[in-house]
Amino acid sequence: MLNKVALITGASRGLGQTLATFLAGRGFHLIITARGGEALAATAQALEKYGQTVIALAGDVDDPMHRQQLAQAAQQLGRLDLLINNASILGPSPQPMLADYPIETLEQVLAVNLLAPLALIQTTLPLLKQSHGLIVNITSDAAVGGYAGWGGYGASKAALDLMSLTLSHELQEDGVSAVSVDPGDMRTQMHQEAFPGEDISDRPLPDVTIPFWAWLLGQLPVTITGRRFQAQTDRWLIPA
């Protein structure tokens, strides 16, 4: 049986790094990417002990040429079973109210958090169809909370949720599944940036979500497509 292949964006630290480690331990070959080349290389080196192929390509998912590089790496490995769109940006910190939000900055948040994941899906879709693959888009409770000061980031994730649901309907006949996952608050660099100067040591590390990921990957993708999940709750599936 051929090893499955996963592509993870934002994989140099935090949740992306945790997912890369988890998947390598389950026998996945990996394509990992992030903007920081040094941190990405360190992650790739740490994954060597699992004995899987790891292709680390530093770059920005907002760059069409970089997305093409990622798709070519998947073609090199011969398949793509799992695409995890984890890379995202917070925007200004502290975050401004929507009434004061610089439109040019909001355009960049939407470009990275919404348009880049869709573009990467489009670029890798032929391989996902061949493998009847699973698309996982990482969302946030900000997508549904309407929290003051989180409107820009939250809007990008709300749109990502709708995109995931729509793709699940549009790609069903092709055997490609799509879900969105809210990993919950975690002790990560982005979470610290969202709360500058505050102590976030009470937040769990990203590996708290591993039981959820173990469960998710044990499901047939066609049985979960279109769903939105919360990785840190007693009930992972959010009722429709």
Residues marked active site are found at 153
> What span, in angstroms and rounded, lies between the C-alpha atoms of 121 and 101?
29
For 74, phi then psi, to 5°, come to: -65, -40
Cα 71 to Cα 28, 99, 157, 171, 193: the distances in Å are 17, 39, 24, 19, 31
> What span, in angstroms and rounded, lies between the C-alpha atoms of 180 and 230?
9
| 83 beta partners | 7, 135
> What span, in angstroms and rounded, lies between the C-alpha atoms of 54 and 2?
15
Contact 12, 38 (CB under 8 A): no
